[in-house]
Structure 1
Amino acid sequence: MKNFVFNNPTKLIFGKDTIITRLRAELPTDKTILVTFGGGSVRKNGVYDQVIKTLEGLSFVEFWGIEPNPKVETIRKAVALGREHHAGFVLAVGGGSVIDASKLIAGAIPSERDAWDIVLSGKITEESLPLGTVLTIPATGSEMNSGGVISSIETKQKFGFSGAYPRFSVLDPTVTFSLPAYQVSCGIADTFVHVMEQYLTTTGQSRLMDRWAEGILLSLKELAPIIKEDPQNYDARADLMLCATMALNDFIRIGVTQDWSTHAIGHEITALTGLTHGHTLAIVLPGTMRVLSYTLKREKTLQYAERIWHITEGTEDERITAAIEATEQFFRSLDLPTRLNEMNIGREVSDEIVRRFAERDVKLGEAGTVDAECTRKILDSCY
């Protein structure tokens, strides 16, 4: 196990009716609150009304229009609004995209740097405005981590950055009942791959981290068909919401190596085509495994095959193949196509991703072996 320092300062407020009963106590009474929203689904599911009722008597201003895969061009408008009203607190109401964008907004309002320059630098170094969240879509884990991913329409690029942790996050599983099935499936895929990026590396690092990660993967396996059959099953929705949070709140990465090559490739696909982030991961992860699981990730894939899919018979190569096929079939059971050509994504997209990685001299993965050439092999296997 590697040396580590673990500190997650986000207060998690979880359960039914927590927006109405718990949010007000977390909000400042002496600052103007910039409340950020996405495209309007919160008006349909009742979240907007609950939040506005909670804000009665406080000073606040609303910003609408943060897109899925949030764009820096939109974020600049929110920053300008926050500065105009001298906002001293940001409340993000939505899914991971709204929260990611709000982390950048909270960092950019008091900064002299342009929002995209902050993203390109990789980190908010200035003191951010305090941030709270009301989560509506379980997927990214952004409600309990410091990371964010932002796109640029102008450059067709998508990069991650590190900002401030939310001071608190309110999670009410009932607000997820009305989510479209595709959005739920992409959230499950996103959560699954978050775990795999931290788990599918090398063996012998931490028994505890392995078991925690495997617990989330097994839970997702069980929850997916339950939610598909009964979308209003509260306990299943609550478990899924907590799985998504625990998958990326630093908890399962303590003292172990990480990969993140699948995410890096997926981000490029989204930037170039607009395909939903979680869906790109359902396509790329099996490809990453097809290229790396027989060599670099061999021992861990065999462990994964046995513990997650109960694959114990056959040669080692046969078990690895079966595990990859089981993983791809799991994503297909979510009604997510798992090949680039199924989504009408041509070879020119792969060519551009490889060109970009070569230009940046990218070396991804736990061992730094996923370069442009390896990325080409991964993408070729996704057709």
Structure 2
Amino acid sequence: VICHVLEMYLSTEADDYLQDQLALAITKTVIRALDILQNDPTNQEARTQLFWAASLALSGVVNEGRSGEFPMHAIEHVLSAHNDKLAHGRGLATILLQKIKFIEKLLPQKYAELAGLVAEATRSDRGDAYALWQKWLAARGTGGGLGEYLQGLDKEKLAEQVLTFSGTPDFLPDIKPLYKKDLIEFIETLE
């Protein structure tokens, strides 16, 4: 759910204020609901909020009229196509962590907003977005490396497949275009 609303937010410099705020609100709601449900899986209010957030995230309304791309999904779909045991959410969670690291210098304001989201929701000190998200995802049993799923796969061929899947054979559209060599490097960070 989180990646479905943050992906376009993290792939553009454009100030799509309403869509950005919707994406951040849905993300904050998911973080809050999952934190509650981790301790009380039967909490109906948290379950309701999580389901509403998922419905909004997948309805497409958050990304209507905004600029941005879906590079994380292009990468994840190719990776999970090679391994039936790689769940979509697990793949996206790991890619999200690397994407957060990737945007630190390219989108410093959004990087700071992501740090604030997790810090506020978890009542922790605002700090490094990557470290905060890594800790939060790890506490939910996800976001770790994908080495076991990528074992034996040719990274160059994976990069070529991502480019083919994305419909742009020369580069993957993102905040800055990812060319084949960039994709290979990005995929290697997922291990």
Q: TM-score, normalised by structure 2?
A: 0.82
Which residue is 1:334 aligned to? 140
Contact 2:100 2:129 (8 Å CA) reproduced = no
Contact 2:138 2:144 (8 Å CA) reproduced = yes
Moved more, 202-211 or 215-224: 202-211
Q: CA RMSD in A?
A: 2.5
Which residue is 1:195 aligned to? 5
* Residues 243 and 224 of structure 1: CA distance in aligned 2, closer, same or farther (over 3 Å): same
Which residue is 1:375 aligned to? 183
Give a deviation string over 1:326-359, Cα, whole Å, max 9, x none.
2222221211252012x35325253431232466
3-state DSSP class of the match of 2:142? coil
Matched, 1:265 2:71: no
Q: Which structure has more helix as a fraction of its residues?
A: 2
* Residues 279 and 254 of structure 1: CA distance in aligned 2, closer, same or farther (over 3 Å): same
Tell me which amino acid in the other structure corresponds to 2:89: G
3-state DSSP class of the match of 2:172? coil
User: How many residue pairs were aligned?
Assistant: 184
CA distance in 1, matches of 2:99, 2:152: 17
- Name the % identity: 21
The Cα of 1:195 is off from its aligned counterpart by 1.2
Matched, 1:223 2:33: yes
Which residue is 1:234 aligned to? 44
- Structure 1, unmatched stretches of 5+, are 1-190, 314-318
Q: Counterparts of 1:22-61 in structure 2 under 5 Å?
A: none
* Residues 261 and 232 of structure 1: CA distance in aligned 2, closer, same or farther (over 3 Å): same
3-state DSSP class of the match of 1:259? coil
The Cα of 1:362 is off from its aligned counterpart by 4.9
CA distance in 2, matches of 1:366, 1:337: 21
Aligned partner (choices 153, 167, 177) of residue 348 of structure 1: 153
3-state DSSP class of the match of 2:15? coil
* Residues 204 and 308 of structure 1: CA distance in aligned 2, closer, same or farther (over 3 Å): farther
* Residues 246 and 349 of structure 1: CA distance in aligned 2, closer, same or farther (over 3 Å): farther
CA distance in 2, matches of 1:277, 1:307: 23
Give a deviation string over 1:244-295, Cα, whole Å, max 9, x none.
11112122113321231111111011100111111110111112232x3134
Give a deviation string over 1:121-178, Cα, whole Å, max 9, x none.
xxxxxxxxxxxxxxxxxxxxxxxxxxxxxxxxxxxxxxxxxxxxxxxxxxxxxxxxxx
3-state DSSP class of the match of 1:336? coil
* Residues 289 and 213 of structure 1: CA distance in aligned 2, closer, same or farther (over 3 Å): same
CA distance in 2, matches of 1:307, 1:232: 24
Give a deviation string over 1:86-140, Cα, whole Å, max 9, x none.
xxxxxxxxxxxxxxxxxxxxxxxxxxxxxxxxxxxxxxxxxxxxxxxxxxxxxxx
CA distance in 2, matches of 1:250, 1:260: 13
* Residues 309 and 349 of structure 1: CA distance in aligned 2, closer, same or farther (over 3 Å): farther
The Cα of 1:312 is off from its aligned counterpart by 8.3
* Residues 288 and 238 of structure 1: CA distance in aligned 2, closer, same or farther (over 3 Å): same
Q: Which structure has more strand as a fraction of its residues?
A: 1
Tell me which amino acid in the other structure corresponds to 2:74: A
Give a deviation string over 1:24-47, Cα, whole Å, max 9, x none.
xxxxxxxxxxxxxxxxxxxxxxxx
Which residue is 2:172 aligned to? 364
Q: Counterparts of 1:109-148 in structure 2 under 5 Å?
A: none
The Cα of 1:226 is off from its aligned counterpart by 1.5
Q: TM-score, normalised by structure 1?
A: 0.44
RCO greater where, 1 or 2, for CA within 8 Å and sep 6 or more?
A: 2
The Cα of 1:203 is off from its aligned counterpart by 4.9
3-state DSSP class of the match of 2:79? helix
Matched, 1:285 2:93: no
CA distance in 2, matches of 1:309, 1:195: 19
Contact 1:260 1:364 (8 Å CA) reproduced = no
* Residues 337 and 347 of structure 1: CA distance in aligned 2, closer, same or farther (over 3 Å): farther
